[in-house]
Structure 1
Amino acid sequence: MNPRSIAIPRGPRRIVCLTEEATEWLYLLGEEERIVGISGYTVRPRRAREEKPKVSAFLSAKIDKILALRPDCVFGFSDLQADIAAELVRKGVQVTIFNQRSVEEIFSMLFQVAAMVGRADDGLRRLEAMRARLLAIEAAASALPRRPRVYFEEWDEPPISAIRWVSELVGIAGGDDVFPELAAQPMGKDRIVADSAEIIRRNPDIVIGSWCGKKFRPEKVAARPGWEAVNAVRDRQLFEIKSADILQPGPAALTDGVEQLHRIVLDWSRAHA
């Protein structure tokens, strides 16, 4: 056989994405034709919901439906999808589970996906542009006369504070996470603020809600017992960032998510100059 006649595969051709970030990234790379199935929670990009079969939630998946799509690779996220991954692997499916929890790990995951589909150079260019923008935001934030204290709430009952990449993005945007010690915990159950009075004591200047799966209710936050004394409530600095823009560890958080954080911080800074 002539070695020159052997076609080298250019990565997986039939990909199932169990979470949104891989889907969004493949669309940005112009490789959406490779996607044959997506998470039912996908909202970015909007057209993905119209074009691709929905085969999973976050903690569960339709294994038979995934197998029927004949994927040659499945992308997933974290130990929370370990059971799904294990079942697919036992069925002979290649599964790649990423576990990115920080800004740097998000960059690494995105580059790996780009390389796997033969778009390493384009992926690197896009990631360098994202990093340049983050550095510009960080430089602008460093010139602010004051940094607001920020309480980012992923869930309200019980209150869960920011995961690591969100905490890091708050810092890049110009704020200081009021629960940095909890941000290091990868699991939501370990980021529960056990005593809500501690939030009052830390007195955030800004409260940002991103209640995954339901709308943030600032009036409900403001009505919490004792919260009338919190700076953010007194100054009406209660905001929502949609979970799709900040709580998926992929392109959205590094672009739209951090931009929204930065605008909120800049507006607060101007009001308190």
Structure 2
Amino acid sequence: MSNFRYKPERIICMTEESVEFLHAIGRSDLIAGVSVYAKRPAEVSQHPVISSFTHANLKKIQKIKPDLVIGFSDIQKDIARDLIAEGIEVYISNQRSIDEIFRYMWMLGHMIGEAEKTNTYLRVLEEKIATAKTFAKAMKKRPKVYIEEWDEPQICGIRWFSELVSLCGGVDIFEAKSLDGIKASDRFVTNTDVGLANPDIILASWCGKKVDIQSIKDRAELKDCSAVRNNTIYELEPEIFLQPGPALFVDGIDRLIDLFSSYNSK
């Protein structure tokens, strides 16, 4: 029994948040493969690419012989099914809220036997949240914010994005949809909806493609809204705001505080 491996030693990460987390707690040595979309941290390029978000190279994964494959959301359910059919152990998380993201990181850290490092790291992220709350409390003006996750069809922000905006002092104009919408289709909105809500700021982060800010300005229903008139439309990096992991707190909070500070200084 002395040679039995109780903890995984070869982990394949099919989305970015697990990669960044393992690097952050000093266990990047466990990573045996990553998604082509993984951009954080910069050292991610040292790991072999084995998947996109909706497809994975099954033969390449089998050759690696991982102890564990980690994925995210129901969108990866077909990949998980195929891997399980080949006898590969799979963990698919489905976190949507900030609380669930912390629970996910806690679970992953404990799964690999790094409870102390994980708890220390989570305390650092909790301090970032405390900083955001302090900033929000001191704000003179809370901007109304429209979060756009996709343009055709228009999809408002996923729950963790909405919660982060609120945490930093913004008011998400579609908060109810973001909090209740599990599927992307639950978060469909129209330009008419956006125009009537008259956001002060538009935060666009289109997963998989660059945001066309001019196309947003050209939408007839938005021509009179404050964000268009004041040119407060911003592209935010999907690798920070559309991944349910450390990046939201490490860099996302600072980015939102900068934007909301600029709004309050006018």
Partner of 2:57: 62
| Aligned partner letter, 1:46 | A
User: In structure 2, which of residues 2, 20, 24 is the aligned counterpart of residue 24 of structure 1?
Assistant: 20
The reply to whether residue 191 of structure 1 matches residue 187 of structure 2 is yes
The reply to whether residue 35 of structure 1 matches residue 31 of structure 2 is yes
For 1:45 and 1:133, the matched residues in 2 are separated by 18
Change over 3 Å in CA distance of 1:35–1:234 after alignment to 2: same
| Aligned partner letter, 1:67 | Q
> Which digits, 9 at most, give the CA deviation of each residue in 1:71-130, with x for residues without a partner?
010101011111111111111111111111000000010111111122111111111111
1:102-117 equivalences in 2 (<5 Å): 102-117=97-112
1:81-160 equivalences in 2 (<5 Å): 81-160=76-155
| Aligned partner letter, 2:59 | D
| Aligned partner letter, 2:207 | C
Unaligned segments of structure 1, at least 5 residues = none
Superposition deviation, residue 179 in structure 1: 0.3
Superposition deviation, residue 265 in structure 1: 1.0
| Aligned partner letter, 2:175 | P
For 1:128 and 1:40, the matched residues in 2 are separated by 30
| Aligned partner letter, 1:6 | S
Superposition deviation, residue 226 in structure 1: 3.0
The share of aligned pairs that are identical, in percent, is: 37
Partner of 2:205: 210
Partner of 2:40: 44
Q: SS at 1:64's partner residue?
A: helix
Superposition deviation, residue 9 in structure 1: 3.4
Structure 1 stretches of 4+ with a deviation exceeding 3 A read: 7-10
Unaligned segments of structure 2, at least 5 residues = none
Q: SS at 1:226's partner residue?
A: helix
Superposition deviation, residue 52 in structure 1: 1.3
Superposition deviation, residue 161 in structure 1: 0.4
Normalization by structure 1: what TM-score? Answer: 0.94
For 1:10 and 1:261, the matched residues in 2 are separated by 41
> Which digits, 9 at most, give the CA deviation of each residue in 1:8-43, with x for residues without a partner?
635100100010100111111111111111111111
Normalization by structure 2: what TM-score? Answer: 0.96
For 1:147 and 1:45, the matched residues in 2 are separated by 32
Partner of 1:265: 260
Kept after mapping to 2: 8 A contact 1:153/1:210: yes
**How many residues in Structure 1 have an aligned counterpart in Structure 2?**
265
Q: SS at 2:223's partner residue?
A: helix
For 1:206 and 1:35, the matched residues in 2 are separated by 38
